[in-house]
């Protein structure tokens, strides 16, 4: 009878080895990265390890061989249930914390190390003395140590957890016949090794039933993998995309060594067909070496052009990102480049046309601004010219400021100040002619009304420039109209702003506005000499005007005098 079981163990061992080869071929046929078949491979390996241990123990010729067989049984059992658990967890899509999975794996590794060296300590067996039984074969009645009890608890824990997962999945998928069948087979495969193990522990016999249970479990798992074709859909989807994508894909490891590629990549780079895994890209071909080191971004092969992109493959396992490899993608951009060439020519023509149209629109806008400002001035100042002169004075001041540009302002900003300066008195449209055209001094009440031209001017500017795309231009114009009568010491109007709180564009406008008023003739006053006007402006620096603008006024005041000397009597 014992010889029958020994022969049976040997036959079961051969079946297990055959199953292991079948799993390997299945994984290669499906995908090297297929997680279910990969986990199944580990299950079969440790089933073979356990069955080999039972076989060696049954034919042991001395205590050492018996003990070695026992070590293989315990080693296989230490890992078998963990990988069975992993296999079912993946198939049933049960989500678990990463730390728990890693912890279980570490416990299995530690337990495997202790079980394989149990003869050197008393944690697994307190005593283990093989002896020759009545049938002439070796047997043993060991005394369990503390880790052996933990070993048995671990087997019970995994078995119960697997049964719970199986029953839960059965209840969740009872309307899907194929899923139900697969789940039932999984539950049976769990019971096959668990029940014989329980019987062997409860009734001590000279032969073991566990190898038969392992063999049935193995056959059922193989049936599920080969016939029922249970696979991880995510893995299959990744493989499908990898194989069917139109771009060529080359995968490199973290040392930029060749790992794999899809069929499209071998069509683009035929040298990859004979490339060995872990080969340097430069050893495969010069152009692949240039692609790998990032010096080649475009490849022309025949009449086709391929654009090259590189992406790092990052892994954030355990909360720490690390680069695991690199993916190189070669995309056919031939038609795209032709389209770009056509678009480039069209774009150049379009940009030129838009530039011309934009210039025309800007000129029309500027003329409109000037005309509106002149209309206002004609009500206020019959002699005219104030709008143009103040704009020119602003331009002269700004040209002086741009020589060192200590204010750090852009050319676009300065240009906006010059273009919108004519709108500084636009608010006078809202002032009654009786006040606006009064030749004498204003009463306090009249002056309060006159002051409103600043706030009204800001509103009118916003209305006139409503459709201007450059919003900063509108803001500059509003600030000039609103604040050009503010004073550095805070005694101006309409809001009594002081110092740098006054926008810089309004501070520039204030100097131009006052200077023109001083050197120009009005119906109620004669014009002032250049020297007198100069002294008034300089003495007002720090009270009326920004003292930081003083040096620019000094630098350009001769230009201003020359400018006004050429202006007709005003």
Is residue 337 among the annotated active site residues? no
Q: Indicate whether 227 and 254 sit together in one domain.
A: no
Through-space distance between the first and last CA atoms of the chain, rounded to whole angstroms? 133
Bridge pairing between strands 322-332 and 138-139: unpaired
**CA–CA gap between residue 427 and residue 212 (Å, rounded):** 102
> For residue range 126-149, what is the model confidence (pLDDT) as tens digits?
888 888 877 677 888 888 899 988
Q: Indicate whether 320 and 446 sit together in one domain.
A: no
Nearest Cα to 275, choosing from 289, 285, 262, 290?
Answer: 285
Residue 549 has pLDDT above 80, yes or no: yes
Cβ distance 457 to 423 under 8 Å? yes
CA distances from 279 to 22, 33, 251, 282, 324 (A): 29, 20, 12, 8, 17
**CA–CA gap between residue 234 and residue 112 (Å, rounded):** 32
Q: How confident is the model at residue 80 (pLDDT cuts 50, 70, 90)?
A: confident
Q: Indicate whether 105 and 43 sit together in one domain.
A: yes
Residue 234 has pLDDT above 50, yes or no: no
Domain boundary among 301, 332, 363: 332
Burial class of residue 330, CB neighbours in 10 A (0-12, 13-18, 19+): buried
**Assigned domain for 355 exists:** no
Determine the pLDDT at residue 315: 65
Q: Which of 428, 459, 475, 521 is catalytic?
A: 428
Cβ distance 480 to 423 under 8 Å? yes
Cβ distance 88 to 186 under 8 Å? yes
Q: Indicate whether 35 and 162 sit together in one domain.
A: yes
**Assigned domain for 562 exists:** yes
Any residues with CB less than 8 A from the CB of 325 and at least 6 apart, and which?
251, 252, 253, 254, 259, 312, 313
Q: If you average pLDDT over residues 25-46, what whole number do you get?
A: 64
Using only C-alpha atoms, the chain has a radius of gyration, in whole angstroms, of 46
- Mean model confidence pLDDT for the chain: 80
Q: Indicate whether 256 and 163 sit together in one domain.
A: no
**Assigned domain for 293 exists:** yes
**How many distinct structural domains can be found in the chain?**
3
Domain boundary among 205, 235, 265: 235
Residue 36 has pLDDT above 70, yes or no: no
Residue 28 has pLDDT above 50, yes or no: no
Phi, psi of 281 (to 5 degrees): -60, -35
Number of CB atoms found within 10 A of residue 345's CB: 10
Least confident of 177-186, 403-412, 487-496: 177-186
Residue 449 has pLDDT above 60, yes or no: yes
Q: Convert 70-80 to b/e letters by CB count within 10 Å (16 or more is b).
A: bbbbbbbbbbb
Output the domain CATH number for residue 132: 1.20.1070.10
> For residue range 251-266, what is the model confidence (pLDDT) as tens digits?
888 888 888 888 888 8
Q: Residue holding tokens 């026992």?
A: 70
Q: If you average pLDDT over residues 459-467, what whole number do you get?
A: 78
> For residue range 484-539, what is the model confidence (pLDDT) as tens digits?
999 999 999 999 999 999 999 999 999 999 999 899 887 667 889 999 999 999 99
Q: Indicate whether 31 and 105 sit together in one domain.
A: yes
Least confident of 45-59, 262-276, 352-366, 454-468: 352-366
Q: If you average pLDDT over residues 321-343, what whole number do you get?
A: 80
Q: Indicate whether 23 and 162 sit together in one domain.
A: yes
CA distances from 243 to 257, 262, 276 (A): 21, 6, 19
Q: How confident is the model at residue 206 (pLDDT cuts 50, 70, 90)?
A: low
Q: Indicate whether 55 and 145 sit together in one domain.
A: yes
* Residue span of the structural domain in which 308 resides: 245-332
Q: Indicate whether 144 and 26 sit together in one domain.
A: yes
Number of CB atoms found within 10 A of residue 151's CB: 20
pTM, whole model, 2 decimals?
0.44
Q: How confident is the model at residue 96 (pLDDT cuts 50, 70, 90)?
A: confident
Determine the pLDDT at residue 362: 59
Q: Convert 221-251 to b/e letters by CB count within 10 Å (16 or more is b).
A: bbebbeeeebbbeebeeebeebeeeebbbbb
DSSP symbol at 426:
G
Any residues with CB less than 8 A from the CB of 372 and at least 6 apart, and which?
423, 426, 464
Domain boundary among 332, 363, 388: 332
**CA–CA gap between residue 542 and residue 551 (Å, rounded):** 12
């Amino acid at each position: 009878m014992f010889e029958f079981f020994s022969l049976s163990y040997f036959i079961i061992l051969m079946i297990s080895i055959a199953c292991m080869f079948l799993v390997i071929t299945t994984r290669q046929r499906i995908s090297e990265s297929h997680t279910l078949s990969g986990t199944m491979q580990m299950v079969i390996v440790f089933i073979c390890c356990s069955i080999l241990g039972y076989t060696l123990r049954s034919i042991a010729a001395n205590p050492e061989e018996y003990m070695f067989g026992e070590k293989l049984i315990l080693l296989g059992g230490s890992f078998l249930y963990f990988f069975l658990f992993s296999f079912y967890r993946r198939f049933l899509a049960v989500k678990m914390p990463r730390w728990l999975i890693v912890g279980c794996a570490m416990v299995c590794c530690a337990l495997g190390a202790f079980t394989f060296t149990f003869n050197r300590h008393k944690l697994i067996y307190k005593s283990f003395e093989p002896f020759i039984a009545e049938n002439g074969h070796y047997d043993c009645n060991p005394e369990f140590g503390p880790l052996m009890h933990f070993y048995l608890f671990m087997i019970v824990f995994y078995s119960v957890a697997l049964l719970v997962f199986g029953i839960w999945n059965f209840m969740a998928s009872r309307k899907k016949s194929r899923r139900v069948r697969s789940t039932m087979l999984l539950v049976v495969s769990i019971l096959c090794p668990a029940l014989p193990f329980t019987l062997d522990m409860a009734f001590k016999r000279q032969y073991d039933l566990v190898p038969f249970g392992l063999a049935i479990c193995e056959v059922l798992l193989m049936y599920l993998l080969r016939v029922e074709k249970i696979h991880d859909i995510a893995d299959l989807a990744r493989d499908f995309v990898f194989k069917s994508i139109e771009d060529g894909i080359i995968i490199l490891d973290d040392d930029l060594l060749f790992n794999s590629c899809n069929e499209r990549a071998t069509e683009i780079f035929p040298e990859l067909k004979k490339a060995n895994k872990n080969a340097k890209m430069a050893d495969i071909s010069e152009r692949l070496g240039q692609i790998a080191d990032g010096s080649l971004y475009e490849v022309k092969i025949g009449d086709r052009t391929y654009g090259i992109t590189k992406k790092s493959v990052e892994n954030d396992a355990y909360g720490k990102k690390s680069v695991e490899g690199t993916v190189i993608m070669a995309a056919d951009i031939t038609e795209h480049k032709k389209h770009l060439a056509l678009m480039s020519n069209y774009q150049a023509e379009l940009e030129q046309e838009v530039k011309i149209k934009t210039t025309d629109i800007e000129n029309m806008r500027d003329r409109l601004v000037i005309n509106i400002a002149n209309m206002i001035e004609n009500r206020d100042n019959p002699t005219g010219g104030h709008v143009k002169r103040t704009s020119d004075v602003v331009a002269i001041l700004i040209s002086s400021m741009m020589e060192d540009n200590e204010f750090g302002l852009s050319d676009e900003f300065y240009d906006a100040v010059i273009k919108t300066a004519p709108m500084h008195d636009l608010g006078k449209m809202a002032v009654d002619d009786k006040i606006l055209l009064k030749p004498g001094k204003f009463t306090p009440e009249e002056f309060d009304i006159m002051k409103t031209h600043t706030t009204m001017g800001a509103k009118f500017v916003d209305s006139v420039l409503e459709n201007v795309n450059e919003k900063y231009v509108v803001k500059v114009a509003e600030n000039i109209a609103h604040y050009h009568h503010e004073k550095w010491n805070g005694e101006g109007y309409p809001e009594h702003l002081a110092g740098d709180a006054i926008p810089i564009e309004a501070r520039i406008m204030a100097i131009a506005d006052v200077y023109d008023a001083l050197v120009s003739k009005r119906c109620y006053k004669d014009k002032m000499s250049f020297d007198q006007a100069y002294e008034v402006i300089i003495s007002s620096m720090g009270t009326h005007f920004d003292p930081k603008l003083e040096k620019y006024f000094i630098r350009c005041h001769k230009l201003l005098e020359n400018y006004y000397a050429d202006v007709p009597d005003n």
